Amino acid sequence: MTEPRTWMCLICGWIYDEAAGDPEHGIAPGTSWDAVPMNWTCPECGARKEDFEMVQI
């Protein structure tokens, strides 16, 4: 198991944390970025998954 990573929306700055997931939108805690569905969008601005970049926090 790799360390959980964080991904930032390049449009609005919202952070997806793999450890926390996005349970309000159907993504369970512990879900890796690769396992997030391609049709998932940023809960803040609606940006697509390809508009996110991995960041160190």
Please tell me the distance from the alpha carbon of residue 39 to that of residue 19, in angstroms, as a whole number. Answer: 20
CB 4 within 8 A of CB 15: no
- Binding-site sequence positions: 9, 12, 42, 45
- Binding-site sequence positions for Fe cation: 9, 12, 42, 45
